[in-house]
Structure 1
Amino acid sequence: MNQLDPYLIALCKQFEIQLGFKIKNIANAEKCSQILALEKLFISPHTIARMYGVVKPFRTPYKDTLNVIARYLNYTDWEDYCNSQTNIPFDPNYFLTEASDGFSLAVLQLALANEDFKALQIVLEKAKENKNEAILFTAAEQIGAYVRKNKKQKELLQLLADSSIGHLFFYECYVDEDNENNYFSDALVNYYLPNITNDYRKLYVYCFLISQSAHKEQKASDYSKEFIALTTQLNKSKCHFQELSRWMECQILIDGYNGILRYTWQFHVAELIVLSTGLGFNEKAWLLSRSLKALIIFGFKEELFHHEELNNHIDEIIRQQKKEFHSIALYVLQLYWICKSLYFNSKKVYNPFRIHNILFQNESNEKTAIEFAVASLFASGENKNIITRNLKSFCEAKGVHWVMKMLG
């Protein structure tokens, strides 16, 4: 170890914060390398993995590697980075926010850990001045993880509903699809919805509630009328892709429960294809996956398998998946694609990917159900028997019914 080690530790931490995720496995290192490449900066996944101790033994990176990371963090080079850590104490970097009395992730974590809600309000106010998306994303994940497990959950949910930054951190950035004991949907109705005036945020709330009722309780939602009334006033072209994907999903779900989906499903798929045009890889995956799940729970699996144009879009996403970021949307499409390949006895070889749980802490039930389902398709012998005994009961207990419909 040498005199630069303290700076190297700091650089590694700052790099992860800027990326918005931790480098804990090879998949993280590959994702990191791809992000750098988009900025015309090049470090191999193996080098990144070794620097973070994923690949053993650890070895101090070459200066060229450190220069690349420093440039990604908007410094001239490694030397400039080291100098800035001591010569610019109030520069808005990630390590000196406490000294400048700015928004601090460490102070946020301490306030949450000690349930100091008065301090938490002060910290949230300071967050309004921070424009760094990586830091805000990290803060949202941190708050979400605490809220899920906290004994004073109700008080925290009310506190977060009282400010716009609280909305952003928990009710918008951290969307808890697991929704254990309906705590998230109840909070949306009781705390968040009364405090918002933006119609597109209301759309998100209605869509979340409708989807939860359909997938977990297998029934129509009481909020379908509000959704229909609201969407007559909104424009899909003005939606964020997540709002758009939820909107399309809910149109299908409502038609399904109204008994008219057999007449409208092709129109919905045609609209999906049109809306997919021009979207990025990740956005298209979300748009298609949510609607696929909705169609599958109403028994349209084989119709989807035979829809050539739709499947061309899905095939393209699957072929490119290693070049892009992983998400639960891509997980859904992966299961669909494998089931479709088996249905047609395809000879194409596809190795399913698996992602570390840390990336899915608010979608863990669906992630696990999909992994069980994929495993069931390849299992044999005693493994097959174990999965057969347990998969259905797990999906029923967690409300992931579409997975069993997909397999059936």
Structure 2
Amino acid sequence: MDFSWSTPLRRNGQTDLPLIPNEIYLAIFECIAPSGQPLSEQDIETFSALALVCRFFCAVMLPRVFERVVFFGNTTSNRMKAFRKTTWARQIVVNTEPAKSVALYVKECHFKDWCAPKEMQQFLFPFSTLYCRAMACMTNIRKVEFCRSFVKNEHWETMAALKQLDCLQFWYCSFIEDPPDRELSVRTVKLFGSPTSFILRPIATSTLRTLETDELAAVLKIVTARQLVIENFVLHREVFEMKLLLQVFEQLPGLESITFGFRAQVAASRFISGLSLKKLFTRLRSFTVKGPSVDPILRHDTEKLVSALCDGPGTLPSLERLELLFLTTGGPTATLDIVSDRLEGTIIPAFPNVKYVRAPYGVMSLGCADWKRSDWSGASPESRDS
């Protein structure tokens, strides 16, 4: 679409009024809905109306209105809106203007509420196919999210064609077909509440750098499918089996940042001795482990964990930040006490460049020359971030 525009003219009847600089209009639009934030339904209606005022307003408004598109599977709450979305998708597929050009404004595409009983899915498949074909024309998409949706091969094939795709998220999804052996361009993947027996091969991409999940078993399938260079790994579910986590870590020696949680009984596992950061990783900069918020870890088990983290020959000079965010028996600062006791003799010799060690209710930090302990009396374990 060709938007040739200048500063909007202003008139009162036949009288020309002073022009308002475009920068002032843009500042007003920013006050209505700050850029970078999803538009509410009311904002979309407002911006859609403003797009009809003049060419300048249209050039500014359309990219905002269409930057985030949601395709709903359950359309019972607003059938007219669903009809308009379907009509727009058909126009995109057949290269009809302005739908074809507007599709290039889309930066995020969301599939929501497509889960249905198996006997009902066949009625949704034609619409899913239509929206996939339309999404293939949205070549500037950077993020795709599936929420309570089935995922078919046509979804994977379409996303593989989106060369600008950077972030992919799955929330409570069902993978109903074995994914094709295609490689996506994504750098960030979030996988939550979506267990699967399939190997999600398209996610096992050479460009993947950040993986957030609560499905450890699915992750193990992904990291063993191909050799990956993931840098950031966040596990949002507490680990029940340390052996499984260690198998994942063994496949990812290049990790730079790790966050996970574990149950109290896991801290007592014999496999905890395998959690040697020096043996497992080569570039790790930040390591965060969270424990149960109620039950404290036995002091012996905390000491054993600290020893395991620092175990092994040589050093890990890349590590700068160590966070042990769990309570230990013996008082609210017991974990920090153990860190303080082990700092000079165990932690620093293993990690010579560590600058920050955090525990519940306090932190050990390296200043200009010396280490300083700061206790946060009265604060909860998760209430202080630095």
TM-score class normalised by the smaller sequence: 0.3 to 0.5
Instruction: Compare the two structures and name the one with the higher strand fraction.
Output: 2
Return the TM-score normalized by structure 1.
Answer: 0.34
Instruction: Compare the two structures and name the one with the higher helix fraction.
Output: 1
**Structure with the greater relative contact order (CA < 8 A, sep ≥ 6): 1 or 2?**
1
Task: Kindly name which structure, 1 or 2, has the bigger radius of gyration based on alpha carbons.
Answer: 2
